[in-house]
Amino acid sequence: MTAVGIRREIVDQILEQLEPVVARQRKALVDQGCFRHISSTQLHVLYMLGSLGSMPMSRLAEQLGVSLPNATGLVERMVERGVVERVRPEDDRRVVEVRITTAGREVLDEIDMVKRQQMATIIARLTPEQQERALRTFTEMRVASEQLVAEESDTQERADDPATRPSRRH
């Protein structure tokens, strides 16, 4: 087996071991009613706005892969619930941007808190030696994640830089 094949096999084994942990978190979210008042699509919108920031309604529709009227209806329901708001940028009053509200962030924070509590419960069941090993492993995973973010950011910056884009000649 090649090195890449071995790595892929190990990655698959690690992910299989994590599946029950993720399933436990999902169950806790359902048990605690985190999804009682929000649809999965609305939650997706909150995560997008929470991580990417406010965006024009047209871009939101594009990101969701839905028509502008469908995105408008979705956002209207979210505005009624108070988890997002529509704003008009000062530099272009024709544009309608959608922004997450404090209540929307609280929804995401509640979900994060439940997931964190579930992880804490699991970690507390480990021996001190296992906890130390887990700390080292998850620290290494955090560092790897930060490296990926930096690489992705560099790639995006190069893609956005007109000087590095290939010219299109017809």
Helix (H, G, I), strand (E, B) or coil at 20: helix
Segment 152-161 long-range contacts (CB within 8 Å, at least 24 positions apart): none
pTM of the model: 0.76
Please list the residues that pair with 11 across neighbouring strands: none
* Tens-binned pLDDT, residue by residue, of the chain (170 aa): 666 667 889 999 999 999 999 999 989 988 888 777 788 899 999 999 999 999 999 999 999 999 999 999 999 999 999 999 999 888 888 888 999 999 999 999 999 999 999 999 999 999 999 999 999 999 999 999 999 999 888 887 777 777 765 555 54
- Which tokens in the block code for residue 49? 């706005």
CATH topology of domain 3-107: Arc Repressor Mutant, subunit A (1.10.10)
CA dist., res. 93 & res. 88, Å (int): 5
